[in-house]
Structure 1
Amino acid sequence: MATARLGKKVTDNFLTCSICFETYTDPCTLTCHHTFCQRCITKYIQTRPDAVHSKTIPCPCCRQDTKVPNPSRPVEEWAGQIKPSIIIQGLIDTLRTEEHVPETSSTCCTICQQIGETTPGAMWCPECEVALCDRCVKTHRVSPTSQDHDLCDLSSRSKDRRRVKCTEHKSNNVEFHCKDCQSE
């Protein structure tokens, strides 16, 4: 319960778009460091003829301009050219995972719940964000779409790092490591 309240405070204060007042969807950060939903900033640009003319994105908060890397592309694609905010997206994903998955290992299998059963979960798939019973684990491990997912024990799922996919190379996870010693 305390985790949910903390998550709500973090979401309300740091993970909410100042245009739509919702939790960010595809957050992108302008050069002034203000962050918005990609969809919201796209709609905002379309209402600003001066932005289209100058080929920049004026920040809705501070009005500082962000240069569009490839302004010859359609205006609808400009916000998509801004680097995504993977840290903010990671925070959103982590909070959603913690809010929707109880802390105890007595969690029921997500798949079995969909067919009306309450089978105790045994493993957690951080990729699919589902709890799995022993029977469903076997199916998950042989399914072509999920056979490469690293499952973890339900009690250790909170320690598992959220994987962030590369926006350009969709099949690759973004990896973080020290440049000097190469440790993660």
Structure 2
Amino acid sequence: MYSRSLASRVALVTLALLAVASPALAHTGEAAAGGFVTGFLHPIFGWDHVIAMVAVGLWGAFLGAPAVWLLPVTFPLVMALGGMLGAAGVPLPGIETGIAASGLVIGLAVLFAARPPLPVAAVIVAFFAIFHGHAHGAEMPGAVSPLAYAGGFVIGTGLLHLCGIAFGVLTRSRIGAFAVRGAGGVIAALGAGFLTGAL
């Protein structure tokens, strides 16, 4: 059982991460200029990535076991596949649209307390992970160390998932569940804004 003080501290860390994130989209079409650190910071300093990664963790925590670990594991694994496609130059239409839609759709799932069967939730998460991964992978060839860059963005993504899971622990109380669903609404609104800009 998690204590309220732990949940409060984790919520503060999550808010701090969101506060330092750049309001710009994480991918500008330019090649990454570094290795691990560049890859690690890429998802953390782009709001479009941050909201989706946190939303996956929130949704997993809301759904409970085994979704609480399955969704955050599915996302980076499939994202790595998308990254390989991007690095290989395989075209994927609507990358920015897919990334923006991920925040909207998963945020709405949290807001409305959607409880689909676990395979359906995993497919939704995996679908959007392809777009996020492709965006990262398309920038990987310009990195000093593509493998280090890939490791960095997978770890950065995982930490954002953990922030969402940690905040999602608040669902153990009625007020906490309301706060988590409210966070889903905020994420959905930001995703809608990004989607409007991407269309």
TM over 0.5: no
Structure that is richer in strand per residue: 1
**Bigger RCO of structures 1 and 2 (CA < 8 A, at least 6 apart):** 2
Structure with larger Rg: 1
Structure that is richer in helix per residue: 2
